[in-house]
Structure 1
Amino acid sequence: MTSSENTGALPPAMNTRLAHGIEMESNGHSSGESGFYLMHEGLSAFVARAVLIEEAAISLDLQYYIYSDDTSGRLLTAKLLEAADRGVRVRLLVDDLGTRLTNPWVTALDSHPNMEIRVFNPVEGRSGLRRGLEQALNFGRINHRMHNKLLVADGLAMITGGRNVADGYFTNAEVEFLDVDVIAIGAIIADASITFDDYWNHSVSLPVSKLISLREETHSLEELRTRLREHLVKEEKSEFRDALRESTLVKELAAGKVPFQWGTATLYADPPAKATDHESVPLSDYPGYQLGQIVKDSQERLQITNAYLIPGRRGTELFAELEERGVQVDILTNGLGTNDTAVAHGAYSRYRKPLLRAGVRLWELRPTAEREHRMHWFSDKSRATLHAKMMVIDSERSFVGSINLDSRSFILNTEIGVLIENAAVNRQLHRLFETWVAPDAAWRLQLDDRGRISWHATDDDNRAIVKHRDPDSNFWQRMLSRMLSRLPIESQI
């Protein structure tokens, strides 16, 4: 489907297995409510995406910052192709910097009459020197990226949260991400479809056929099918295929037996114009600003899990004000040993002491996978890093999305997330937070009498461990972090 015409969301599917199952799930709930099912295990999150793609009968809309050509990406691509073959309209929107397109196979996929791939805010040159020059000359535009993660199936169900499409987000990788997604049904789906259409039809969402020269090497759809079949055979015994075979999610959805939690909800999404003409977008339209207003109203507790914590002066003051009002603020983020961006850790490190002095309880994730008894989705050799972006607000409200607590998410990138008003979801995320900050999973930061930071945890035998410099790091990492912390580039991180 190589058309460049604007298209809109199709009407929700009716008289399908997924439609009947969701109708049963919705019985007894008002039309203004939405149902939510949390997923923090990577394989479950992969299976949920695969199942919604398999069950779709009318339409599939996918929006991702990263969509990788690895095991999980190829498995999901195979299912998207199968969906298109049975008549489902598939629209895939990816970010150009997060997802590097491989010409021969992308053009084959895009040539399917029921599929179209578009690229958000693309760099003109596809590779090499031309691409580098484009990035340098148009940095102001290119620096704004689409960080959203969204899948909408048949106008009936959606998945959003922190995960991109790549092995590390689902497992089967040396570095595995702790993350959270949510399946949603009900009233919020209409808002998700509107949001997707806004991005899909924006002037900087360009069809891939306009970006890749057809004079270059191309493959046919049949060659692509052969490639994907060979991949499926190769991965027959992979943990992804095993998880799909063993999953009961299809039957549970069809029978209306998924334990959805119901309540009112708000979808927060940046307008796509934020990436192209951010000065025309009122600050009040930014999800980061809107979340800040919600956080200000906290009364009892605020638990934050976020991969990149660079609160700035205003954020630090906000947390201090909450503490002064008696709101306990707890934050889990990455430490030097788990942060994949040295410059981000350098900027974050400047705020550790001010936060601790304000009364904020602060933890940093430990990188080892020694807590397999606690988190069984980690393999023996994997290294953990935090990627989740979630909040537990008092006892009723929660947030799950793609928004990091840094200037890049607030000001530069486009983001998405959902505020859920449901006590059970709040409790689930609270329990997950408590698991992730346990002494065998995270370092608790404290200030001693001389104002120095110390890190506290326990070993395999539950014996106390105390460190007086960034754990799980070497001299060169610490020196680089200190050097980067002095750079005046916080607004770009």
Structure 2
Amino acid sequence: MQYPCPTLPRRFSTAWSALAALIVAAVIVGCASLPANTGRVASQSFQSPGQTALGQLTAQRRVQAGARSDSAFSLLENVDNALAARLALVDAAQKTLDLQYYAIHADASTELILQHLRDAARRGVRVRLLLDDFNAVGKDAQVLRLAFEPNVQIRLFNPLPGSRSSLVVRIFTSLKDVDRIQKRMHNKLFIADNAMAISGGRNLGDAYFGGPGGSNFVDLDTLSAGRIVRDMSASFDRYWNDELSFPMEKLVTQQELDQMRSAPVASAPDASQQGKGTAPAVPVVATNTSAVMPDVTRAAVADAKPAGYDLRSVPLVWAPSILLVDKPGKIGPDDDEADAGDTVVDGLLALMNQARQDVLIVSPYFVPGAEMMKVFAQIRAKGVRIRVLTNSLASNDAPAAHAGYARYREALIALGVELYEMRADQEGTAAGIGSGIGSAGGSKSGVSHASLHSKAAIIDSRLAVIGSMNLDLRSQRQNSEVALLIRSAAVSRLAARQIETTLAQGAYRVAVENGSLVWRAPPGAAFKDTTSEPQATARQRLLMRLIAPFAPDEML
């Protein structure tokens, strides 16, 4: 007897179609390989920063301050200044702009930065953009169009041969090379004329500048000037000229970018380029940018003017400093891992182990592993106080990372480590976490969901380490990272004050009472104590339980 074939419901039919498409894509790219990375031309950072306006400004301010130290710093503690400072550096640059990032998202704030970069390139500034290849997919791949501007070069670090149609497809079609997927360039640097720079944990995109919708990543940056910037540029050059750095044109063409665009968006040519050839203008990468531009972005644009964010008067602290940076070999093939040497996280742990009084840690993804647990035990054995601010399950955008952290909560508390988990919303606190770390300043972004993204450590109230690293095995062993070590009581106090404001107003203290975990609200807070993961949904709790048994620490 012949039985009729059943008809699948539409949602299942769609799902199977999507799965089939993934399988076909995987087969197609299964034999794909990267092109030979030959013919690259090495280039270096601008070697005479003192000849530029930014270099001269730095020298003048050092004389005015009577400073002995050759480097200066200013914390960019809110989203207004974080965006405004970047725009100010681009607009002030005369020779070079070097940007190194893990992720750049195609949205309103990025379009604003790209437009300023395009204008800088058209007035003769050389722009080099080094981007980790993993997230340059789908809509976000459109930022690569900047490479078609004169005076702009883009290179992609540790590229994958898989599809760029979406991140899901990218991962699926690259599973044959899991080790390469895992090793990413996580560095973040924004350098102008080798004279002033911005570093920290912030990627580029609306979520990092207080844009509307989704999660608002609470972050921390540092504006630097002087000798330390030359160290940053040396690090940038090393990555830029590394064999894992591929010219963008070898990996994706303008025609491929056109095919990935959901809808063509016209962009008027810049008046300064009329009659100067046919180089395409950078198109708007966010549809109807003027309509979706967040209020915080508009405010930052105003602040970028000399009257609002003036590099001539921004507060600077002159202090001794060291750049902690991983070598590109850390991301290389397995047989090159020995070339990585001591890592940024190794150096940070060694500094913590020298603490005499207290260590204050901010790490959004906190998965210590056995080695770090030994270091924490050694620190606590000397009577040193350790406080850690990390994400709660509700505020964490990576449930797998939270599952890894959760394994160590009770053991950390048993050591005497004080654990704090940030609330997922910015409402219901005594004064809001807006006055704390990574606040939105005077702007109102309308974002109710916050996710901690700052990475910092304050040691004995005199050493501040601010960078791109998390305290997890991924940052320690797989991702490349960069961080500033600043020996300054003033910088340490300012950073610690912001962190402690968040601890006191927008975070739960995690404790073990009667054998069970409890989350204690700060005194006077509008939110209450709880005995379960605060604000987490049933779906989040279930997902964490499902992931936990199958997620080794080194993969989180």
Aligned with 1:423 (options 489, 505, 512): 489
- Other-structure match for 2:521: 457
- Other-structure match for 1:486: 549
- Other-structure match for 2:237: 197
Q: 5 Å matches for 1:40-439?
A: 40-100=77-137, 105=142, 108-127=145-164, 131=170, 135-174=174-213, 175-213=215-253, 216=256, 224-225=281-282, 227=284, 233-234=290-291, 238-247=295-304, 253=310, 255=312, 257-277=313-333, 279-281=336-338, 284-370=341-427, 371=429, 373-375=432-434, 377=440, 379-438=445-504
Of all paired residues, the percent bearing the same amino acid is: 32
Cα separation, 2, equivalents of 1:148 and 1:328: 29
- Cα gap change, 1:469/1:82 in structure 2, threshold over 3 Å: closer, same or farther? same
Cα separation, 1, equivalents of 2:527 and 2:288: 47
Cα separation, 1, equivalents of 2:515 and 2:179: 40
Q: Is the 8 A contact 1:457 1:465 kept in 2?
A: yes
| TM-score between the two structures when normalised by the length of structure 2 | 0.81
Cα separation, 2, equivalents of 1:33 and 1:120: 31
Cα separation, 2, equivalents of 1:327 and 1:486: 33
Q: Which has the higher strand share?
A: 1
- Cα gap change, 1:214/1:47 in structure 2, threshold over 3 Å: closer, same or farther? closer
- Other-structure match for 2:60: 24
Deviation at 1:292, TM superposition (A): 1.2
Cα separation, 1, equivalents of 2:151 and 2:304: 28
Deviation at 1:290, TM superposition (A): 1.2
- Cα gap change, 1:234/1:180 in structure 2, threshold over 3 Å: closer, same or farther? same
Q: Which amino acid aligns with 1:457?
A: A
- Cα gap change, 1:104/1:309 in structure 2, threshold over 3 Å: closer, same or farther? closer
Secondary structure in 2 matching 1:465: coil
Query: What are structure 1's unaligned runs of at least 5 residues?
Result: none
- Comparing 427-436 with 237-246, greater Cα deviation is found at 237-246
Q: Which amino acid aligns with 2:329?
A: A
Cα separation, 2, equivalents of 1:152 and 1:22: 14
Deviation at 1:382, TM superposition (A): 2.1
Q: Is the 8 A contact 2:85 2:304 kept in 1?
A: no
Cα separation, 2, equivalents of 1:74 and 1:300: 45
Per-residue Cα deviation, 1:195-238 (whole angstroms, up to 9, x for no partner) = 00011111111111111135546599765356489966556784
- Other-structure match for 1:477: 540
- Cα gap change, 1:203/1:250 in structure 2, threshold over 3 Å: closer, same or farther? farther
Q: Is the 8 A contact 1:66 1:98 kept in 2?
A: yes
Q: Is the 8 A contact 1:265 1:419 kept in 2?
A: yes
- Cα gap change, 1:241/1:222 in structure 2, threshold over 3 Å: closer, same or farther? farther
Per-residue Cα deviation, 1:92-136 (whole angstroms, up to 9, x for no partner) = 011111332669955642122300111001112343599556511
Cα separation, 2, equivalents of 1:225 and 1:332: 40
Secondary structure in 2 matching 1:37: strand
Cα separation, 2, equivalents of 1:321 and 1:452: 25
Length, aligned pairs only: 488
Cα separation, 2, equivalents of 1:490 and 1:411: 11
- Comparing 481-490 with 127-136, greater Cα deviation is found at 127-136
| TM-score between the two structures when normalised by the length of structure 1 | 0.91
- Comparing 472-481 with 189-198, greater Cα deviation is found at 472-481
Q: Is the 8 A contact 1:347 1:484 kept in 2?
A: no
Secondary structure in 2 matching 1:281: helix
Q: Which amino acid aligns with 2:537?
A: N
Cα separation, 2, equivalents of 1:229 and 1:379: 18
Cα separation, 1, equivalents of 2:140 and 2:531: 50
Query: What are structure 2's unaligned runs of at least 5 residues?
Result: 1-38, 259-265, 270-277
- Comparing 152-161 with 210-219, greater Cα deviation is found at 210-219
The structure with more radius of gyration: 2
Q: Which amino acid aligns with 1:306?
A: S
- Comparing 121-130 with 137-146, greater Cα deviation is found at 121-130
- Comparing 309-318 with 51-60, greater Cα deviation is found at 309-318
- Other-structure match for 2:507: 442
Q: Which amino acid aligns with 1:52?
A: L
Q: Is the 8 A contact 2:211 2:447 kept in 1?
A: no
Secondary structure in 1 matching 2:155: strand
- Cα gap change, 1:357/1:254 in structure 2, threshold over 3 Å: closer, same or farther? closer
Cα separation, 2, equivalents of 1:277 and 1:87: 38
Cα separation, 2, equivalents of 1:344 and 1:254: 38
Cα separation, 2, equivalents of 1:31 and 1:99: 43
- Other-structure match for 2:45: 9
Secondary structure in 2 matching 1:138: helix
Q: Is the 8 A contact 2:141 2:257 kept in 1?
A: yes
Secondary structure in 1 matching 2:186: coil
